A and B are shown apart, each in its own frame.
Chain A
């Protein structure tokens, strides 16, 4: 226990080395690849993520995930997110998205295990939450308002995991109506009727455990490439590309898990980006996140 406290303290005190994540959905996609427990058919994960974003916006984002193991190869997960943003515009919170993910583990070979996932993200809002009828930038929205297809592939090799995935908006229901011209700040770009491009992800994770298997650590590096420039509709009704909103984000992340017993565990996750896109109109701008997660299998 002392070791855990020490590691947490080091992580918090040196957050430039701690992990962070800055894109919705695709960031936590690696979890969907986790090997399903062969004996316990159900898993519930409850977590809360604290995040600090651009300007002075902070976030508290709880979520709940339920995973059902269908057989030794196939499992299904559903996740519901919620987010409250606080900043100079005020406080706004709502349900975010629902995720439905199927994970298939291919036949294991010596030292290697391939798995793949396919799923959808379904938004609960059209990304147009307001305060007192004042439109808010995407940094304050709990969802981007897009219906996304998520597909991924994972290779587990000994203590290493390599996963790659794409998140493709297949139907855009973003009805955001924020114009920076109508607010009193240049902190956030205009995102009226925002249209977002796809993301591609690559993550490498190294997993190691203490001898008693009580503590597990998963440092990982996450590369996210935003595959095009996003756009919005300007005040004259014309679609305008947001220059330099495409490109690479590199996040560092460390997860520390403590197994209370064979069925219950607690995780701490710290994350921060090292490289970010020049312009991030989608509000996926976390410069630091810290999450605490409780997992139970039954």
Chain B
């Protein structure tokens, strides 16, 4: 029993709980959009039950690249939030644009026909929980 008492702290010392260092890889930088460029589509976010959200999603054509830009955006925190461009108000037919981060710009893959997608969703993938929906209207 003494040995257990002796070995356990050594092991705990070894592992010293969870480690998360700094991200040492540079995040991709988005290209600034020319001033006065009109959005292709816009929509304001609406929360699902128990969630707080503000702001809007706008789709811009920036050069040859379509991208979703979040403006004045904030949402309740979640463990694994993603930005989806979706054909429906639920995540059934969508394009995953990546993790929701401090970035406000999310590139849309070039092969996507943007006009077929009517919603931007904020979705927690890990727990399959929809946080917010922005219905897009064409400008």
Residue numbers of A with Cβ under 8 A of B are 44, 46, 48, 62, 64, 82, 84, 88-95, 126, 128-135, 175, 177, 179, 181-185, 192-193, 235-237, 296, 298
Contacts and interface: CB of A to CB of B under 8 A. Distances in A.
A235 to B, nearest CB: 4
Nearest to B13: A62
B80 to A, nearest CB: 6
Given A46-B7, A62-B11, 16 more contacts: A44-B7, A46-B11, A90-B21, A90-B25, A91-B21, A92-B21, A132-B22, A134-B27, A175-B80, A175-B125, A175-B126, A177-B125, A179-B96, A182-B99, A185-B25, A237-B91
18 contacts: A46-B7, A46-B10, A82-B15, A88-B24, A92-B19, A92-B20, A93-B18, A126-B126, A128-B80, A130-B99, A132-B23, A134-B25, A177-B126, A179-B98, A235-B95, A237-B94, A296-B3, A296-B7
B35 interface: no
A181 B99 CA distance: 12
A200 B43 CA distance: 52
B24 A89 contact: yes
Contact of B3 (A44, A64, A182, A237): A44
Contacts of B92: 237
B15 A90 contact: no
A179 B3 CA distance: 46
B22 A64 contact: no
Nearest to A45: B7
Q: At the interface, is chain B mostly helix, strand, loop or mixed? A: loop
Contact of B19 (A91, A179, A185): A91
A233 to B, nearest CB: 8
Given A133-B99, A179-B98, A235-B95, A88 B25 contact: yes
Interface in B114-136: 125-126
A177 B82 contact: yes
B18 A94 contact: yes
Contacts of A182: 28, 98-99
A17 B42 CA distance: 62
B117 to A, nearest CB: 11
Contacts of A82: 14-15
B31 interface: no
A251 B101 CA distance: 41
Contacts of B14: 46, 48, 62, 82
Most chain A Cβ neighbours within 10 Å, of B11, B94, B95, B101:
B11
Q: What 7 pairs across the A-B complex have the smallest Cβ distances?
A: A91-B21, A93-B19, A82-B15, A132-B23, A90-B21, A175-B126, A62-B14
B7 A183 contact: no
**Max chain A C-beta neighbours (<10 A), residue from B24, B27, B80, B96:** B96
Contacts of A126: 126
Contacts of B28: 182, 184
A193 B15 contact: no
A229 to B, nearest CB: 22
B33 interface: no
B109 interface: yes
Nearest to B86: A237
A289 B58 CA distance: 50
Contacts of A89: 23-25
A193 B127 CA distance: 12
Given A64-B11, A91-B21, A177-B80, A237 B99 contact: no
Contacts of B94: 236-237
Contacts of A298: 3
Contacts of B99: 130, 133-135, 177, 182
Contacts of B82: 177
A36 to B, nearest CB: 18
B71 interface: no
Contacts of A184: 25-26, 28
Contacts of A129: 20
Contacts of B95: 235-237
Interface in B60-119: 80, 82, 91-102, 109
